[in-house]
């Protein structure tokens, strides 16, 4: 018995010692992993699924091979292997978008050396479409796969693939006239960056194209100087700042065979925006949106080509601003009724619109995000929403007739879904705050059929990593605000730790969701930052979307005021925590977040002693007209609002602690913002840091992002601990 007791004690000691050793042997993320993309990867790469090709198969890209994958069985059929073709032509070929593949799977388009080529998938032959010094843009197959449309030098062009003929559909393109190619303001603020400047749309019967024609005559140009050659290179862009002239636009419909063109024009003397045309199935009518320059009124029209007449279908007006119906915000049903996503009630909800009027399908203090699919058989509208919690993104369906809502997604977190063409299958990319992404295959009932891929890797078990946590707090007026906190692992209860608050701000620009927090692979940097003994907090404010459009409208003509008040309350809350050092709280942000960081160091120095601001707006008079006027009106109409929201107004309140960064060829938030602000700041004689990134735009390239992540952490470590990152890392 004594022997057994002794043996038991020895085993317990060995077991405990083993656990202690195991804990001590857990790895930390290295400097090289965080900033040089070297060393062990903590996540498995997800497959590069380009999109659905039909109701049962999706297109998968693996290295240089494209596969058609049967969703249910997982069987792969090789569509094309580009490797031997690359060797044959001596050019690198990339397929990044499903739109590059023709609908009939016979061809793929490429831009090589600034010219368009078509690859015959069966023949393996490359055919040159253009031979020009002028780079073409946005080659797009017709629905019947027989033609290819693109823009070149401001003109809209169609290439007849079978006849091998080029048809010039417009001939007035120039530096000021653009046909089917976005003026900058439409690219950035209306059609969006993922449009890649494309502003033309094929009819379903492949016989017509509707396109925007932009006239930039009378607009001002902003000049940037890029590093190129001995004298540099001038870049000039038609960029309307707040209150300045915006491009005149009209929608035109051109018939491919005859070249006949009709114009859908509105009063040219009245500034307005026209966008988002949607064809009817018979290609005889098109829906489009008209918005007033002040963005307080939106009208959806239906235009009948044969009658040359337009009809009002939907109208919205608000005292603050209305939003365009982007992408799936307007869904045309087979019977030509519409599903519209609108914030008319103060929350984004769905409406069924017909000639008889509009019926609201969803309601409540929650937000519909987007319509994903509408079943013509059952009348079910499938949509994603922040319903059960403003940080949880789920899949639901609502029946048009009964209005019954059913939740389909499984698991608390963030579900990003993609429906097959006929709605039989759903690819659900699921993630949560501490759960890496996994791709699930669901049926139309939301039942999980299988896991397609999982980002989780066993490698992560070897590391002693901190965990992210969503918390909520109430402000003095009772408004609930969510934030995410990342505490260093194994904190010393006797110590107090510094904090970096990471923000964006801005109206309806939600940052806090129950997702994996790995945008642009930054998670490893944030975990490395936690290892340095720094608490990190991500925060939203009442206007970011958690409280609907009604919450965002509190920001009208008061940009930064609402955000700063809420962020300051979160900072005050953090100071009540026993492990937070109240004198070492910094704030960090880029773009609009950079603006907030600058305003915080000027107006909330009692809460934020340090600020790192990337590409900040410093005066809204210098930002683009469409975005700025939406929330601020024009400088002429709202002089006080522009003064009160300008960082330049509060230069005399600056104490110290600012780091400001900008790319020298930023064509979105021009470096003018930083340089004008710094010019005034220098005259105060007070300390600040500035870093200019040569040859970088608003979104830095991968190498510059890596440098900036490193430089930002170095700044905060010097401010918090009096030592640099490089010293701490032995660099």
| Predicted local distance difference test score (pLDDT) of residue 269 | 81
| Predicted local distance difference test score (pLDDT) of residue 729 | 86
Q: Buried b vs exposed e over 33-52: b needs ≥16 C-beta within 10 Å? A: bbbeeeeeebbbeeeebbeb
At 542, give phi and psi (nearest 5°).
-70, -20
Distance CA(570)–CA(543), nearest Å, equals: 15
Largest Cα–Cα distance of the chain, in whole Å?
A: 103
Distance CA(341)–CA(313), nearest Å, equals: 14
pLDDT of 19 above 50: no
pLDDT of 354 above 60: yes
Residue 48 forms beta bridges with which residues?
Answer: 61
pLDDT of 11 above 90: no
Give yes or no for a contact between 511 and 481, defined as CB atoms under 8 angstroms apart.
no
At 124, give phi and psi (nearest 5°).
75, 15
| Predicted local distance difference test score (pLDDT) of residue 4 | 35
pLDDT of 60 above 90: yes
pLDDT of 3 above 90: no
pLDDT of 13 above 70: no
Q: What's the token pair of residue 459?
A: 């490698």
pLDDT of 10 above 80: no
**pLDDT tens for residues 364-376?**
999 999 999 999 9
Distance CA(625)–CA(238), nearest Å, equals: 12
Angle between helix 592-603 and 561-575 (nearest 10): 70
| Predicted local distance difference test score (pLDDT) of residue 89 | 83
Give yes or no for a contact between 191 and 182, defined as CB atoms under 8 angstroms apart.
yes
| Predicted local distance difference test score (pLDDT) of residue 90 | 87
Confidence of residue 24 (pLDDT cuts 50, 70, 90): low
Mean pLDDT of 456-484: 96
**pLDDT tens for residues 602-658?**
999 999 999 999 999 999 999 999 999 999 999 999 999 999 999 999 999 999 999
17: how many CB neighbours lie within 10 A of its CB? 10
pLDDT of 125 above 50: yes
Share of the chain above pLDDT 70, in %: 97
Q: What's the token pair of residue 597?
A: 């960081």
| Predicted local distance difference test score (pLDDT) of residue 18 | 43
CA distances from 120 to 80, 96, 155, 286, 605 (A): 10, 17, 26, 33, 63
Give yes or no for a contact between 534 and 497, defined as CB atoms under 8 angstroms apart.
yes
Confidence of residue 8 (pLDDT cuts 50, 70, 90): very low
CA distances from 319 to 295, 323, 517, 557 (A): 10, 12, 36, 12
Instruction: List all residues 6 or more positions away from 629 whose beta carbon is below 8 Å from its beta carbon.
Output: 242, 243, 293, 294, 295
Between the CA atoms of 647, 651, 657 and 662, what dihedral angle is there, to the nearest 10 degrees? 50
Q: Buried b vs exposed e over 362-384: b needs ≥16 C-beta within 10 Å? A: beeebbbbbbbbbbeeeebbbbb
CA distances from 509 to 459, 544, 727 (A): 34, 5, 37
**pLDDT tens for residues 402-429?**
999 999 999 999 999 999 999 999 999 9
Instruction: List all residues 6 or more positions away from 581 whose beta carbon is below 8 Å from its beta carbon.
Output: 496, 497, 498, 499
Mean pLDDT of 53-78: 97
At 16, give phi and psi (nearest 5°).
-65, -40
pLDDT of 381 above 80: yes
Distance CA(584)–CA(562), nearest Å, equals: 23
> What rounded mean pLDDT belongs to the chain?
94
Q: Which helix (H) or strand (E) holds 237?
A: strand 233-238
Give yes or no for a contact between 173 and 217, defined as CB atoms under 8 angstroms apart.
no
Instruction: List all residues 6 or more positions away from 76 whose beta carbon is below 8 Å from its beta carbon.
Output: 60, 67, 68, 69, 70
**pLDDT tens for residues 561-601?**
999 999 999 999 999 999 999 999 999 999 999 999 999 99
Least confident among 57-71, 121-135, 619-633: 121-135
Distance CA(166)–CA(147), nearest Å, equals: 10
Share of the chain above pLDDT 90, in %: 91
Instruction: List all residues 6 or more positions away from 46 whose beta carbon is below 8 Å from its beta carbon.
Output: 437, 439, 453, 455
Across 27-154, the runs of DSSP E, i.e. the strands, are 48-52, 57-62, 65-70, 76-81, 107-112, 115-120, 126-128, 137-141, 147-152
Helix, strand, or coil (residue 270): coil
Helix, strand, or coil (residue 689): strand
Question: Is this model's pTM higher than 0.75 or not?
Answer: yes
Mean pLDDT of 698-726: 96
Q: Which residue has the tokens 């735009």?
A: 697
Instruction: List all residues 6 or more positions away from 390 whose beta carbon is below 8 Å from its beta carbon.
Output: 366, 367, 482, 510, 545, 546, 547
| Predicted local distance difference test score (pLDDT) of residue 288 | 98
Higher pLDDT: 398 or 20? It is: 398
CA distances from 353 to 303, 399, 690 (A): 16, 14, 53
Q: Which residue has the tokens 């620009």?
A: 509
Distance CA(270)–CA(201), nearest Å, equals: 25
**pLDDT tens for residues 204-235?**
999 999 999 999 999 999 999 999 999 999 99
Q: What's the token pair of residue 675?
A: 């340089």
CA distances from 699 to 346, 590, 615 (A): 32, 10, 9
**pLDDT tens for residues 519-530?**
888 999 999 999
Parallel, antiparallel, or unpaired: how do β-strands 405-407 and 414-419 relate? unpaired
Give yes or no for a contact between 725 and 695, defined as CB atoms under 8 angstroms apart.
no
């Amino acid at each position: 018995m004594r022997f057994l007791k002794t043996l038991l004690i020895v085993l317990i000691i060995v077991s405990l010692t083993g656990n202690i050793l195991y804990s001590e042997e857990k790895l930390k993320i290295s400097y090289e992993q965080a900033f040089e993309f070297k060393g062990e990867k903590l996540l498995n790469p997800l497959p590069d699924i380009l999109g659905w090709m039909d109701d049962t198969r999706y297109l998968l890209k693996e290295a240089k091979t494209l596969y058609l994958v049967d969703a249910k069985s997982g069987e792969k059929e090789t569509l094309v292997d580009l490797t031997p073709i690359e060797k044959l032509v001596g050019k690198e070929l990339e397929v990044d978008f499903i739109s590059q593949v023709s609908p009939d799977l016979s061809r793929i388009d490429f831009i090589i050396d600034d010219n368009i080529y078509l690859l015959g998938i069966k023949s393996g032959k490359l055919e040159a479409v253009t031979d020009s010094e002028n780079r073409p843009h946005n080659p797009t197959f017709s629905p019947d796969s027989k033609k290819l449309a693109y823009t070149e030098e401001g003109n809209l062009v169609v290439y007849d693939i079978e006849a091998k003929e080029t048809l010039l559909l417009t001939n007035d393109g120039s530096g000021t006239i653009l046909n089917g190619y976005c003026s900058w303001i439409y690219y950035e603020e209306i059609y969006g960056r993922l449009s890649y400047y494309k502003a033309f749309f094929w009819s379903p019967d492949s016989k017509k194209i509707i396109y925007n024609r932009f006239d930039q005559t009378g607009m001002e140009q902003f000049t940037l100087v890029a590093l190129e050659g001995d004298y540099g290179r001038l870049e000039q862009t038609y960029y309307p700042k707040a209150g300045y002239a915006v491009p005149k636009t009209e929608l035109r419909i051109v018939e491919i065979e005859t070249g006949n063109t009709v114009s859908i024009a509105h009063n040219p003397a009245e500034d307005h925006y026209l966008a988002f045309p949607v064809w009817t199935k018979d290609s005889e009518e098109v829906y489009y949106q008209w918005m007033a320059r002040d963005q307080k009124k939106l009208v959806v029209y239906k235009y009948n080509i044969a009658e040359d007449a337009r009809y009002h279908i939907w109208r919205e007006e608000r005292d603050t601003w209305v939003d365009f119906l982007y992408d799936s915000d307007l869904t045309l049903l087979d019977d030509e009724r519409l599903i519209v996503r609108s914030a008319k009630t103060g929350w984004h909800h769905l409406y069924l619109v017909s000639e008889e009027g509009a019926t609201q399908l969803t309601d409540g203090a929650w937000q519909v995000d987007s319509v994903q699919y509408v079943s013509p058989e059952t009348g079910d509208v499938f949509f994603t929403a922040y319903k059960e919690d403003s940080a949880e993104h789920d899949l639901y369906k609502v029946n048009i007739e009964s209005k019954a809502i059913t939740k389909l997604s499984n698991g608390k977190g963030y579900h990003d879904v993609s429906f097959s063409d006929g709605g039989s299958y759903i690819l659900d990319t699921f993630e949560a705050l501490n759960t890496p992404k996994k791709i699930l295959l669901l049926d139309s009932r939301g039942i999980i059929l299988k896991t397609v891929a999982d980002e989780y890797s066993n490698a992560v078990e070897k590391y002693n990593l901190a965990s992210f946590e969503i918390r909520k707090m109430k402000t003095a007026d009772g408004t609930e605000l969510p934030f995410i906190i990342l505490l260093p692992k194994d904190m010393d209860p006797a110590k107090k730790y510094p904090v970096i608050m990471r923000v964006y701000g801005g109206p309806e620009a939600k940052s806090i969701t129950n997702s994996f927090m790995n945008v642009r692979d930054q998670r490893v940097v944030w975990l490395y930052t936690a290892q340095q003994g720094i608490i990190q907090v991500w925060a939203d404010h009442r206007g970011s979307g958690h409280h609907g459009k009604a919450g965002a409208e509190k920001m009208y003509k008061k940009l930064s005021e609402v955000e700063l008040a809420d962020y300051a309350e979160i900072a005050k809350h953090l100071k009540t925590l026993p492990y937070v050092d109240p004198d070492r709280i910094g704030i960090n942000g880029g773009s609009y977040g950079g603006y907030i960081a600058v305003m915080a160091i000027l107006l909330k120095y009692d809460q934020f002693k340090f600020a790192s601001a990337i590409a900040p707006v410093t005066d809204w008079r210098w930002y683009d007209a469409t975005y700025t006027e939406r929330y601020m009106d024009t400088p002429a109409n709202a002089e006080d609002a522009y003064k009160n929201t300008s960082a330049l107004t509060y230069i005399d309140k600056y104490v110290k602690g600012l780091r400001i960064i900008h790319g020298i060829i930023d064509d979105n938030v021009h470096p003018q913002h930083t340089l004008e602000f710094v010019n005034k700041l220098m005259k105060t004689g007070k300390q600040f840091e500035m870093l200019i990134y040569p040859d970088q735009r608003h979104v830095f390239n991968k190498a510059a992002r890596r440098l900036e992540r490193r430089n930002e952490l170095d700044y905060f470590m010097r401010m918090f601990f009096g030592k640099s990152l490089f010293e701490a890392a032995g660099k």
